[in-house]
């Protein structure tokens, strides 16, 4: 089949599905959906449909990014737009099916929004909602909308037209087009993709490799997983275009073994493109041949670094090597090699499909296009978002994310994961692009964005990131291996109230030495969370050191739990739940925490009924409570 035949076949099948006289039910069954119970919802839908004898087409889709509202189920009746229902439970299913499919009541109170042409009374358009309106979906264009295991869905929505177009161009022209688009690597460093390809293209050698880096190891980031689970072809089309451009005949996808569903969907996608002649020998009748292998990473954060990743593919310890020679000169098995992140390749397929002009309308002068972030932490609408470069942190956190839960104040936002920085609320108007984030001491990174509220301790958060990089240091360079350990010990001391006044300056000096003396980006960026947090939140460090007080009352060694005798009604709930049996008291007796036994786990505070709110947590304050249980003074409200 020629590509035009494939495309018209896919288009007519898609058309038939969209105009089918059967209702369609779309359910998000990516890892995040499954974790929220999507599979039990799916079972409930099937049995309910059978009960009412309704014939419907069920389509498994990836994640649309609204993680806070999972599981998501869209129902489309013939001739109507899809209606997206949020936080669907198996209990809600009978009502949804009966009310909407049987009785034609679309249940606006349960709906989040509509997708597609047409409208339904009382339900807004999904993409007009505040969390989606500021978004521009380039990489995530199909996620949550199409069946990732059906290549025809991808082709019908423009898929592989970029590859077909590229194959009609000279490879130099493809590189020029990517250069003109202004695309920069989405793995974090932001190197121009077209130039990277050009280096590899111009390197002498018959055999060249292209590698897709899907070793997403940053704790708090799941952009790659979501794309590979929701639309694997978007990346595959990108790697095929890249391979053609640089003249690679073989490729690897290096993916975390912890992503079984993404691997499964990639394997399905690879079988499908093989069937359609989109991979293999003489792709689409051209003289371009390309083969690809999936390599599962075995769990080492440092393998995100290019030279370490290649060592790992070669079956060695994943330790970085000095550059030069750059991978483009001598990479995998000593051959010229090009490595791109999953997201970068997702951009490439979109650029070749829709053209440079369309792409370059998004973003800023120096940073074109969009960036996908995994927005999580203390924010109302957590999820996977794609925003144009240059958007401000404020627009992301308060617009897309809907602000901080429980009316708490924002303390900091962390971008770039353990290599990035902790930015204060005073930088909320910072436009998000590579240069601005670097200037502020952070990095763009692969796209983790974690929001911290007033209950989070800055020093403890910096310690958390450093404990991660310290554990993941491969051990090759002394400054990284020993230095991060020393920094971690100092931070532990500070969090435990054993910090010395000179520690803060010593931390800064050591951090700068590690940055300068490390071979790869892991060591080179590991001190960033500490450096930025000292830069913007020095007072918090000083409080820990000088006053032995954690301003957020987070650091366990520095907090004290106590029971407010004015509020305790002697209900016994905390005493029964205390794992350390540290709470003394009886029915209608004010409970008292035995501070010697207390392990500061916070369970008492979790279980104390909200109407009493008697358990208090303080740091660096004297408490005055009875030394043993006394009768409750006031009359019980019950």
Q: How many beta carbons lie within 10 A of that of residue 587, not counting itself? A: 10
- Cα separation, 328 vs 69, whole angstroms: 43
By CB under 8 A, is residue 335 in contact with another protein? no
Segment 541 to 580, residues that bind another protein, using CB under 8 A: 577, 579
Helices (H) and strands (E) in the chain, counts: 23, 20
Pick the closer one to another protein by CB: 478 or 599.
599
Q: Min. distance of Cβ 411 from another protein in angstroms?
A: 10
Task: Assess whether the previous peptide bond of 71 is cis (omega < 30° from 0).
Answer: yes
Q: Which residue has the tokens 């931070």?
A: 491
- Report helix angle 528-542 to 458-472, nearest 10: 150
Binding to another protein in span 118-177, by CB under 8 A: none
Interface segment toward another protein; rule CB under 8 A; list 88-96, 99-107, 372-380, 425-433: 372-380
C-alpha separations of 183 from 357, 370, 609 in Å = 12, 9, 53
- Beta carbons of 374 and 66 less than 8 angstroms apart: no
Answer whether 209's CB lies under 8 Å from 248's CB.
Answer: yes
Q: Strands 337-341, 209-214: parallel, antiparallel or unpaired by DSSP?
A: parallel
Listed ranges 485-493, 584-592, 601-609, 628-636: which one lies at the site for another protein (CB under 8 A): 601-609
User: Which residues within the stretch 204-223 sit at the binding site for another protein (CB under 8 A)?
Assistant: 216-222
Q: Decide whether 182 or 377 has the Cβ nearer to another protein.
A: 377
Selected binder of another protein within 414, 473, 518, 533 (CB under 8 A):
414
For residues 387 and 417, is the Cβ–Cβ distance under 8 A?
no
- Residue identified by tokens 């030279």 is 307
* Residue 313 binding another protein, by CB under 8 A: yes
Rg of the chain in Å (alpha carbons): 27
Does residue 440 touch another protein according to CB under 8 A? no
Give me the least distance between CB of 466 and another protein, in Å please: 12
Which position among 474, 507, 582, 584 is part of the footprint of another protein (CB under 8 A)?
A: 474
Q: How far is the CB of 606 from another protein (least distance, A)?
A: 5
Would you give the distance in Å from CA 194 to the centre of its chain? 25
Q: Is 61 in the site for another protein (CB under 8 A)?
A: no
Decide: is 525 part of the binding site for another protein (CB under 8 A): no
User: 3-state SS string over 10-53?
Assistant: HHHHHHHHHCCCCCEEEEECCHHHHHCCHHHHHHHHHHHHHHCC
Euclidean distance between CA atoms 143 and 65, whole angstroms? 8
* Number of other residues whose CB lies within 10 A of the CB of residue 387: 23
Q: Rule CB under 8 A: is residue 246 a binding residue for another protein? A: no
Does 496 help bind another protein (rule: CB under 8 A)?
Answer: no
Task: Give the C-alpha separation, 430 to 434, whole Å.
Answer: 11
Applying CB under 8 A, which of residues 64, 140, 292, 300 lies at the interface with another protein? 300
Supply 481's token pair: 């291996």
51, 76, 109, 588 from 98: Cα distances, Å? 10, 14, 15, 50
| Interface with another protein, residue 298, by CB under 8 A | yes
Binding footprint of another protein, residue count (CB under 8 A): 60
Q: How far is the CB of 365 from another protein (least distance, A)?
A: 31
612 binds another protein (CB under 8 A): no
The number of angstroms, rounded, from the C-alpha of 476 to the middle of its chain's C-alpha atoms is 29
Which stretch, 27-35, 85-93, 128-136, 185-193, contacts another protein (CB under 8 A)?
27-35
Q: Give whichever of 389 and 495 is closer to another protein, judged by the CB atom.
A: 495
Nearer to another protein, 388 or 418 (CB): 418
Give dist(CA 212, CA 215) in Å, integer: 9
In the complex, minimum distance from the CB of residue 142 to another protein, in angstroms, rounded to a whole number: 19
Structure tokens at 574: 């905390």
Q: How far is the CB of 464 from another protein (least distance, A)?
A: 5
Sole window of 65-73, 77-85, 101-109, 157-165 interacting with another protein (rule: CB under 8 A): 65-73
Q: Which is nearer to another protein, 400 or 450 (CB)?
A: 450
Using the rule CB under 8 A, give the single segment among 5-13, 66-74, 273-281, 507-515 that binds another protein.
Answer: 66-74
Closest by CA position to 311, among listed 257, 254, 247: 254
> Interface residues with another protein (CB under 8 A)?
31-32, 34-36, 67-68, 70, 216-222, 225, 257-259, 295-296, 298-301, 312-319, 333, 374, 376-378, 382-383, 414, 417, 448, 450, 452, 456, 461, 464-465, 468, 472, 474, 577, 579, 599, 601-603, 606-607
């Amino acid at each position: 089949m020629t590509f035009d035949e494939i495309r018209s076949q896919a288009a007519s099948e898609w058309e038939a599905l969209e105009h089918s006289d059967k209702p369609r039910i779309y359910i998000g069954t990516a890892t995040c959906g499954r974790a929220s119970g999507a599979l039990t919802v799916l079972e409930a839908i099937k049995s309910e449909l059978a009960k009412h004898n309704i014939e419907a087409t069920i389509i498994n889709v990836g994640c649309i990014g609204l993680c806070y509202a999972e599981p998501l189920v869209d129902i489309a009746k013939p001739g109507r737009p899809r209606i997206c229902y949020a936080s669907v439970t198996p209990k809600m299913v009978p009502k949804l099916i009966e009310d909407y499919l049987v009785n034609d009541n679309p249940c606006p109170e349960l709906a989040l929004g509509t997708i597609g042409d047409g409208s339904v009374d009382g339900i807004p358009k999904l993409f007009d909602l505040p969390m989606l309106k500021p978004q521009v979906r380039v990489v995530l264009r199909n996620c949550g909308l199409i069946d990732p295991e059906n290549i025809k869905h991808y082709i019908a929505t423009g898929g592989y037209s970029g590859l077909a177009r590229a194959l009609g161009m000279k490879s130099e022209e493809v590189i020029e087009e990517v250069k003109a688009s202004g695309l920069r690597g989405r793995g974090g460093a932001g190197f121009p993709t077209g130039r990277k390809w050009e280096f590899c293209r111009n390197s002498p050698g018959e055999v060249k490799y292209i590698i897709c880096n899907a070793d997403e190891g940053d704790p708090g980031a799941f952009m790659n997983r979501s794309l590979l689970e929701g639309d694997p072809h978007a990346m595959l089309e990108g790697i095929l275009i890249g391979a053609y451009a640089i003249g690679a005949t073989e490729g690897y996808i290096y993916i975390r073994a912890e992503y079984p569903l993404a691997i499964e969907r990639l394997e399905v996608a690879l079988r499908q493109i093989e069937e359609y002649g989109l991979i293999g020998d003489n792709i689409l009748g051209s003289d371009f041949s390309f083969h690809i292998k999936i390599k599962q990473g075995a769990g080492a954060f440092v393998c995100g670094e290019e030279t370490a990743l290649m060592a790992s593919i070669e079956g060695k310890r994943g330790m970085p090597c000095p550059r030069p020679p750059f991978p483009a000169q001598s990479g995998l098995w000593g051959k010229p090699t090009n490595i791109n992140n999953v997201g970068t390749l997702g951009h490439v397929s979109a650029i070749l499909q829709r053209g440079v002009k369309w792409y370059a309308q998004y973003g800023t002068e120096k940073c074109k296009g969009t960036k996908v972030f995994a927005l999580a932490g203390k924010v109302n609408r957590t999820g996977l978002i794609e925003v144009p470069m240059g958007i401000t942190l404020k627009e992301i956190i308060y617009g897309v994310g809907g602000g901080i839960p429980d009316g708490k104040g924002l303390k900091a936002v962390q971008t770039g994961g353990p290599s990035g920085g902790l930015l204060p609320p005073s930088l909320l108007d910072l436009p998000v692009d590579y240069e601005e984030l670097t200037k502020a001491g952070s990095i763009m990174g692969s796209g983790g964005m974690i929001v911290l509220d007033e209950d989070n301790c800055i020093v403890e958060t910096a310690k958390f990131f450093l404990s991660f990089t310290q554990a993941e240091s491969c051990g090759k360079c002394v400054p990284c291996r020993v230095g991060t350990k020393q920094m971690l010990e100092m931070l532990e001391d500070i969090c435990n109230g054993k910090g010395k006044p000179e520690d803060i300056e010593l931390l800064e000096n050591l951090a700068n030495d590690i940055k300068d003396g490390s071979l790869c980006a892991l060591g080179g960026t590991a001190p960033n969370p500490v450096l930025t947090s000292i830069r913007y939140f020095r007072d918090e460090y000083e409080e820990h050191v000088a006053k032995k007080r954690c301003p957020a009352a987070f650091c366990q060694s520095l907090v004290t739990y106590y029971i407010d005798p004015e509020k305790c009604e002697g209900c016994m709930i905390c005493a029964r739940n205390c794992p350390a049996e540290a709470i003394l008291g009886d029915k209608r007796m004010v409970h008292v925490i035995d501070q010697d036994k207390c392990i500061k786990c916070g369970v008492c505070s979790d279980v104390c009924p909200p109407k009493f709110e008697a358990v208090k947590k303080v740091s660096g304050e004297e408490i005055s409570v009875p030394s043993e249980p006394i009768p409750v003074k006031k009359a019980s409200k019950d």
